[in-house]
A and B are shown apart, each in its own frame.
Chain A
Amino acid sequence: MNNGLIKISPCFEDVMPQEYKDLVEQGSFGKNFGVSDLGSFKELIEEHPLCAGCGLALSMRLILASLPNPENTIIVGSTGCSALAFSQVALHNIHSLFGNQNAVATGLKRALKLRFPNEIKDVVVVAGDGATADIGLDMVMQSWFRRENITTIMLDNEAYANTGGQESGMTMEKAVLNMAPKGKNFPKVNLADVARVAGCAYVATCNPAKPRMLEKIVRRAVFTAREIGPTYVQIYAPCPTNYKLKPDEMLNTIKTREKDGTYPTSEYISSSAKELLERLEGGTNNEK
């Protein structure tokens, strides 16, 4: 990162909004803050327009606090609820079109390797379930086949939430949503298994009800993508608005689904990723 990247020009000091001044004075760049430090530093995400109790909103806060190298991380998003919040994130982030996020990330990562051969530039894709498992699946999987050094994070709210709650490939079978008026008639896509077979070196499913686990998973995914190959993280992030939950029921919904086995947390680490992570984590603290 350019050290002056977020610095305020002296002549603008009096007009810059307070939240930007906070970012400069108490931000997380170069500080190695994590999830357990939340509340003590200025987060990368500013006030966002997502609904009360939104699983995405909490997940995004946790993802951004977990990034090991925020000062040199570029996010690629896609159309969906998360795109509404990413324009308020103090990282370079790209919204191109719906579904092409992993293709954009491929070009971005390869070009950054050319321009900054001796620096770490982490490219992290954060997109919804529709963008990842439906409209963009082709490009998501092709980026895995090609072994691109990018992290793909799916925010799985099991619906097209931004467009009024339509069924997606990640919706549970039999769920009644728009465009599945008689209930969805095929099972939830098992993208974690697909990712493993398609060449991801690290694959995990998790949720924001376990913030420390989410943090560890995001960091492992970014480290592995940097050194070894593509990684995939799937985060269950329920949508209170379209699933008719009260905002304060979001976390309990996650816990119930984990308990009844319909949305387990899981982790797959390839042997080369295991070697890398053991080296990075010093062989300690390897419990889930």
Chain B
Amino acid sequence: MIDQRIVEPKHLFFEAERKKRFITGSEAVKEAIKRANVDMAISYPITPQSESMHLVGDLFAEGYLKEYFRGENEFAVMSEITGAAMAGVRVFTATGGPGTLRAFEMFPTWVGARLPVVCAFLTRGVNSPLTIQPDTIEMSFMLDTGMLMLHAEDAQDLYDMLLKAFIIAEQPDVHIPVGVFADGFFVTHTRETIEVAPEDIKLPSYNPYSSPVPVMDMVNAPVRQMRDPFVMKSNFISYAAHASWQQEVLAAGERARKHIDHYLNGLVESENEEADILIVASGTAVSQSREAISIAREQGINIGLVKLKSIRPFPTEEIRALTKHAKAVIVPEFNRVGWLAREVKSAVNNSDKVIGGPRVFGGMTMPVELILDEIRRCL
């Protein structure tokens, strides 16, 4: 194994001197995992999710990970991740688009089993017709799995959110999986300058006995979870047991807010939020919105921006407060269904002022002119 010094998370995140690197989003995943003290990573080469998981394989060869292998499909990989997490090690994997859907049954299962898995979702379109292009529609399907969902705008976010995701997921009062989403191709396949911590430091290792459920190692008590299994029982106690478990999982997601707030410096970021027209966005739609806002400003139009970093838990209170005085709220998205507009509509006081668009999908980039068109319609 490569010798790295263990440091406090806050040192790695906020204090260590950072160096500039000109790298792709996939390489940013590698840089994050290099410092994350991951025990085991499992990969599947769904083409062309991104090169992130074979770069993580290179980390294994270099001695940064203890175990790594290629699984047989995404459902199996997520199942293998399940077994490893239940045995009490820190695990990482990544998927995207069709792979996300192939693996889908495992995501609520991770949540119900209280596994602090960190998974990168490098999003892309879902068939059919056949596509390999960027799209965030899979995030719509993921909204109600119970997983925490962070959405990176760029490679810097991806690097930071991945590292912080382990620490947020592993809090004993949270202990549910975190998905870190980044827009495939736009983030994964393009280079940008990002700042990373020194590579000779890493996060503290995961303590399996911080888990709120027993680790499956025949060391951690208790050995018998149920005297009387409620799975097939049709009685109130069985229903209540199941319901209270689900409520506790929901509560764990709510308890994550304070940790996300702390480590990500808020679930949202905003600028010029006093403006009459606000753009609320996540992912690379934020970057496109920044461009549109700067052009609008040159034309004397004042626009504010709210960037959502956490999608689950959803920053309902933050959005309600920030949009209180806005006359119009524009929600640009990289998918056809407009899941973010739906979410924002449910958060603002008057949903009539939410404009769900522009929407591009099928792999298209989002021309700044489309956002400017929406802005002009609001004037």
**Interface membership of A180, Cβ < 8 A:** no
Contact B67 A116 (CB under 8 A): no
User: Residues of B contacting A17 with CB < 8 Å?
Assistant: 227
**Interface membership of A94, Cβ < 8 A:** yes
Known: A90-B224, A92-B223. A111 touches B218 (CB 8 A): no
Known: A88-B227, A114-B89, A115-B89. A103 touches B80 (CB 8 A): yes
User: Residues of A contacting B69 with CB < 8 Å?
Assistant: 110, 146
Contact A104 B218 (CB under 8 A): no
Report the contact-size class of chain A (Cβ under 8 Å from the partner).
Answer: 35 or more
Contact B83 A139 (CB under 8 A): no
Interface residues of B in 64-104 (CB under 8 A from A): 66-67, 69, 71-73, 75-77, 79-89, 91
User: Residues of B contacting A107 with CB < 8 Å?
Assistant: 40, 42, 79-87, 91
User: Residues of A contacting B120 with CB < 8 Å?
Assistant: none
Nearest-Cβ distance from residue B206 to partner chain A, whole angstroms: 11
Contact A5 B87 (CB under 8 A): no
User: Residues of B contacting A105 with CB < 8 Å?
Assistant: 83
**Beta-carbon contacts of B229-271 to A below 8 Å, as 1s and 0s?**
1011000000000000000000000000000000000000000
Known: A17-B227, A88-B224. A104 touches B86 (CB 8 A): yes
**Interface membership of A74, Cβ < 8 A:** yes
From DSSP, what is the main secondary structure of chain A's interface residues? mixed
Interface residues of B in 106-127 (CB under 8 A from A): 106, 109, 113
> Once bound together, how far apart are the Cα atoms of A284 and B228, in whole Å?
43
> Once bound together, how far apart are the Cα atoms of A107 and B42, in whole Å?
9
Contact B219 A2 (CB under 8 A): yes
Number of interface residues of B (CB under 8 A): 46
Nearest-Cβ distance from residue A118 to partner chain B, whole angstroms: 14
User: Residues of A contacting B75 with CB < 8 Å?
Assistant: 100, 103
> Residue B39 contacts which of A84, A111, A146 (CB distance < 8 angstroms)?
A111
Contact B226 A74 (CB under 8 A): no
Contact B72 A112 (CB under 8 A): no
Contact A97 B105 (CB under 8 A): yes
**Interface membership of A4, Cβ < 8 A:** yes
Contact B88 A139 (CB under 8 A): no
**Interface membership of A253, Cβ < 8 A:** no
User: Residues of B contacting A115 with CB < 8 Å?
Assistant: 87-89, 208, 217
**Interface membership of A277, Cβ < 8 A:** no
**Interface membership of A267, Cβ < 8 A:** no
User: Residues of B contacting A84 with CB < 8 Å?
Assistant: 229, 231-232
Nearest-Cβ distance from residue B171 to partner chain A, whole angstroms: 21
Contact B217 A121 (CB under 8 A): yes
> Once bound together, how far apart are the Cα atoms of A73 and B219, in whole Å?
11
> Once bound together, how far apart are the Cα atoms of A129 and B157, in whole Å?
46
State the A residues within 8 Å of B (CB). Answer: 1-2, 4-6, 17, 20, 46, 49, 71-74, 76, 83-84, 87-94, 96-97, 100, 103-112, 114-116, 121, 138-139, 142, 146
Known: A107-B91, A111-B85. 7 other contacts (CB 8 A): A6-B222, A103-B79, A107-B42, A107-B86, A111-B87, A138-B72, A142-B71
Report 15 cross-chain contacts, Cβ distance below 8 Å, ordered by A residue. A2-B220, A4-B221, A5-B221, A46-B227, A71-B218, A92-B218, A96-B79, A104-B80, A107-B42, A107-B87, A109-B83, A110-B40, A111-B39, A111-B84, A115-B217
